[in-house]
């Protein structure tokens, strides 16, 4: 007997779901545990597995379409089974994904409006819309076109580089044909789901194509692109780098790398054409990490140089990144009650420990790496600091993901080291160098800057002795690291020359009380002043 699968409620606040991608099509055999579809909620894209076996007889929501929770998503049953009695009353609310979002227009009117739009798209022509490449993205900016009008485009070709509110990401074509139209000029911005490009047979007249209705007819492909952008860990090259710098990796190896926190840019692939496969991740050793930029890359990057002209005012248009940074920092500063705790650390033993570690073969770590490691271990003992405010509750995070602030010409980004407490010094060092280098070239994926539970900002390399930072939401604290200063200190009743470093902890008082923050800093001081305690 056929089973009706309804749109699941995958989060507390979810009222409708969007099918980012179908993994099964009508007529396919489905087994229990098979991934049926990828469902986009109000928070993330999640795999939806089948709990029944049979044949997929009916799809209630088209790919790229949305439907209310508990509406018909699919029907699974025996091949050839009559399901007319199940679809008769369910098809209307579930199949028309976009028409049903608005209750202000009758269904007939919505269908009538859609028919002329479909007629505007000639046969074989595909309308590519601006993809939503992050949860908070409302518009995208074309940083660079890699194809010009008239160029032949193949599936998988790099079409353009899209600047979101978080990063610059490669956008690949999913179609074969000729680029007939660019909907957004290079350097221009457009809202999500507006026309980005049109691909089709050479010589096709697309002058009438480009209305919002026409674009809506092919919205499922950008939705699929969005799902891939959230899940894939491919490295993104800088705007000036060649496509050969991109990482080739199998889906299974990619998932294993994500689970293990392995940086795929430091893995040598053994598959065809250097493709990373399962065994490469299984056999990965941290010593394989590629050398990258200097340790100072973790925080050093100046804003875009501005030429001074006496008596002449100039303007620099804000990038998407800077606009979002300004919005988020203002929200954090004015919504979270900040307070600050400061402590001075004796770094003599840390300096000696670093010298010994760096004397080992193929090993070179920075003080910043040591601070990140010590912070992650300290968060284990003080989980309240690794928590987030969520209105009527506090969320205590189950993973320790440390975000490391990196200055870029457009402002500041925070790439995230997933499961930092489980990483070695060499893994931390390699990951920080790699992500800091790619951040400056706008080469980070959006998912590499999501999921932080605590953040660190280090201006010590600029000689800044002490400073305070604004909390990176939804974190409840951020650590500011100053320079190591050689100065007289009192030790065992004697004045001697010592090396000290000042730390400042900004806390959200809604989550972290003063005593809790002080205890965390006390633990962190112990780890840095006595590095061997990290091994206990």
What are the beta bridge partners of residue 416? Answer: 403
In angstroms and rounded to an integer, the radius of gyration of the C-alpha atoms of the chain is: 26
Q: Which contiguous run of DSSP H or E holds residue 38?
A: strand 35-40
Q: How far apart are CA 359 and CA 429, in angstroms?
A: 15
What pairing do the DSSP bridges indicate for beta strands 3-6 and 72-77? antiparallel
Per-residue burial over 391-414, b if 16 or more Cβ lie within 10 Å, else e, is: eeeeeebeebbbbbbbbbebbbbb
What phi-psi label fits residue 58: left (phi over 0), alpha (psi between -120 and 50 degrees) or beta?
beta
User: Where do the DSSP E strands lie in 164-210?
Assistant: 168-172, 177-182, 189-191, 195-200
42 belongs to the catalytic site: no
Q: Where are the alpha helices (DSSP H) in 5-158?
A: 84-87, 91-95, 107-119
382 belongs to the catalytic site: no
Cβ atoms of 409 and 238 within 8 Å: the answer is no
CA torsion through residues 508, 509, 514, 515, sign: negative
Cβ atoms of 37 and 66 within 8 Å: the answer is no
At 37, list the tokens: 């579809």
CA distances from residue 176 to 152, 193, 209, 219 in whole angstroms, order as listed: 8, 21, 18, 17
| 262 Cβ contact list (under 8 Å, min separation 6) | 256, 281, 284
| Catalytic sites, residue numbers | 509, 513
């Amino acid at each position: 007997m056929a089973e009706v699968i309804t749109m699941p409620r995958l989060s507390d606040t979810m009222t409708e779901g969007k099918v980012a991608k179908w993994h099964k099509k009508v007529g396919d055999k489905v087994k229990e545990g098979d991934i049926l579809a990828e469902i986009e909620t109000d928070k993330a894209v999640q795999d939806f597995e089948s709990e029944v076996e049979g044949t997929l007889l009916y799809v209630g929501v088209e790919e790229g379409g949305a439907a209310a929770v508990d509406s018909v998503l699919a029907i699974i049953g025996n091949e050839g089974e009559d399901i007319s009695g199940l679809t008769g009353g369910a098809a209307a609310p579930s199949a028309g994904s976009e028409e049903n979002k608005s209750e202000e227009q009758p269904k007939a009117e919505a269908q009538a409006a859609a028919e002329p739009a479909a007629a505007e798209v000639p046969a074989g022509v595909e309308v590519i819309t601006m993809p939503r490449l992050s949860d908070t993205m409302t518009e995208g900016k074309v940083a660079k076109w890699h194809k010009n009008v008239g160029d032949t485009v193949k599936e998988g070709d790099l079409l353009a580089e899209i600047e979101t509110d978080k990063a610059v990401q490669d956008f690949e074509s999913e179609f074969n044909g000729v680029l007939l139209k660019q909907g957004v000029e290079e350097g221009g911005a457009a809202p999500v789901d507006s026309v980005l490009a049109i691909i089709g047979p050479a010589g096709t007249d697309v002058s009438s194509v480009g209305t919002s209705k026409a674009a809506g007819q092919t919205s499922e492909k950008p939705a699929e692109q969005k799902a891939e952008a959230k899940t894939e860990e491919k490295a993104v090259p800088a705007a000036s780098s060649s496509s050969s710098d991109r990482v080739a990796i199998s889906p299974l190896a990619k998932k294993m790398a994500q689970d293990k926190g392995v940086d795929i840019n430091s893995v040598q692939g053994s598959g065809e054409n250097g493709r990373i496969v399962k065994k490469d991740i299984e056999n990965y050793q941290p010593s394989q990490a590629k050398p990258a930029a200097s340790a100072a890359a973790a925080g050093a990057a100046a804003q875009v140089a501005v030429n001074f002209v006496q008596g002449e005012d100039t303007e620099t248009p804000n990038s998407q990144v800077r606009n979002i940074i300004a919005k988020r920092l203002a929200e954090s500063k004015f919504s979270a009650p900040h307070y600050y705790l400061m402590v001075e650390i004796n770094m003599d033993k840390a300096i000696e420990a670093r010298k010994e570690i760096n004397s080992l073969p193929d090993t070179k770590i920075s003080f910043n790496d040591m601070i990140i490691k010590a912070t992650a271990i300290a968060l284990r003992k003080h989980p309240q600091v690794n928590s987030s405010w969520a209105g009527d509750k506090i969320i205590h995070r189950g993973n320790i993901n440390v975000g490391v602030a990196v200055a870029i010409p457009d402002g500041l980004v925070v790439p995230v080291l997933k499961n930092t407490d489980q990483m070695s010094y060499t893994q931390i060092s390699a990951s920080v160098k790699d992500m800091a280098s790619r951040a400056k070239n706008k080469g980070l994926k959006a998912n590499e800057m999501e999921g932080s539970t605590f953040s660190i900002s280090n201006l010590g390399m600029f000689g800044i002795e002490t400073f305070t930072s604004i909390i990176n939401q939804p974190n409840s604290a951020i650590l500011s690291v100053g320079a190591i200063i050689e100065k007289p200190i009192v030790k065992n009743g004697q004045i001697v020359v010592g090396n000290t470093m000042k730390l400042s902890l900004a806390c959200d008082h809604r989550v972290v009380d003063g005593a809790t923050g002080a205890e965390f800093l006390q633990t962190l001081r112990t780890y840095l002043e006595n590095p061997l305690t990290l091994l206990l």
